[in-house]
Structures are given as structure tokens and as C-alpha cells.
Amino acid sequence: MSLTRDAIITELETETKRTDKTTYFQDIFPDVIEEMCSAHTQDGEPIPLNGLKTDGTLTISDEDYYSDLPSDFIFQYGEPELLYDTDKGWLMIKKSLEWMNLNFPNRANNTSSKAKPQYYCLEKNRFDFAPMSDDDYTITLPYTKRHATVSSNSVTILFRDDFKPVIKDLCKAKLFGDLFQDNERGNFYYARGLNKLRSLAITDKRNAESVLVTSVNDF
């Protein structure tokens, strides 16, 4: 069963006994979905939600040394791969920008060291790489994307049905905390929604792993 905005709002009105807040729930709904996209673990690490995962592609050309990240990029969840010779590829190695500049100085102009890019870093909404590209290539980039704005019932919600309690709790947190200034109830719903989101993310992560490893403090 797919989630729809209006169905969730109807449940919110019933559970909060605030049938007068339809417009308010419609207004905050896109913000709640956006906040879920950028949710973090207790340690500050991004949560790679399955519904937002996508395999993006970057097309680079001869003498390129960076590419703009996709406009809907939130964060990277897997290693990029450089594809070449039709049926070949290698995983690129992540480095810091300082390392790149130290080992490949003046990357923007150093055409004498052109080769297949092997190293990369993410800086200022760019995918920087080294060495400078010696040809046209495609780079696959696994990342989680920004959800489309859920401004009407016709916009597909990318989260599966068991994420509905998360959405409702985060909406309730805004209703009680932000609108009614009831910080105790607002904080309760926010914490409960975020904990549920982290729990679902742990389940998805473990289901995706080829070898299950139990970790006490995954998130």
C-alpha cells in the first residue's frame, strides 16, 4: 500500500482531534518529508533511507577535473565507479581536498598528468577528482536524493507504509511544539518519530548486508 498525503492528514486530524488544522498539516507536510531526507544518527551520521537511494551518473569529458553534483543530492551512501572501455570499471578512492591538492597540484591546468580519474572528494556541491580526465567517461554515484515536494495528494511519497508513524509523529511534533507552544508534547512526538525512523533504517541496513553483523550502537 502506498502512502498518500491526504490519507495521512485525515488520520492526523482524527488522532489529534484537530479537524480545523487541515491547511496547517498541508503546509508543514513538505517540511516533514524534507527533514526525513536529511535525518542523522545520534552520532551525527546521515541515515541512508532506502526509499531515497538512487544510482546517479556523472558524465565527464577530456580535461575535466570536477563535475557538479546532482541537484537533488543529499549524501553519498556507496563508492562511485569509473566506467571505461564499454565493459570495464574501477571503484574510485575517496580523499580529502587537501590530499588532492597536495598530490595533484594545479589540477585545473595540469594537462601533462591526464589519466583515468582514480581519486575523488566532495566539496562545495562538486565532485572533484584526480588526475584530470584524459577522455570521456561515466561515473556512477550512489546517493540518497531529496524527496520531491509533497504539495498535493498526487505527489508519490517514496517511503513505504511502515514509515507512516514517523511522518505522523513529526507532524504532531510541529503541531504541538511549534504551533501550540507545548514543548513537552512536541519533544515527545519528535523523539518518538526520530527513534522510529532510526529503527527502520537499521532494519533496512541489516537486510541489505550480505553478512549480518550485530552492532549495539548502529544508530
The range of the structural domain enclosing residue 37 comes to 5-47+159-208
Q: Does one domain contain both 65 and 131?
A: yes
Residue 114 lies in a domain: yes
pLDDT at 210: 59
Q: Does one domain contain both 41 and 58?
A: no
pLDDT (tens digit per residue) in 24-54? 999 999 999 999 999 888 888 888 899 999 9
Query: Mean pLDDT for the chain?
Result: 93
151-183 per-residue burial string, b: 16 or more CB within 10 A, e: under 16: eeeebebbbeeebbebbbbbbbbbbbbeeeeee
CA angle 7, 147, 199 (to 5 degrees): 75
Residue 198 lies in a domain: yes
Q: Does one domain contain both 140 and 108?
A: yes
Residue 40 lies in a domain: yes
In terms of pLDDT, which residue wins out, 206 or 30?
30
Q: How far apart are CA 57 and CA 75, in angstroms?
A: 14
pLDDT at 212: 47
Residue 215 lies in a domain: no
Residue 100 lies in a domain: yes
Answer whether 54's CB lies under 8 Å from 144's CB.
Answer: yes
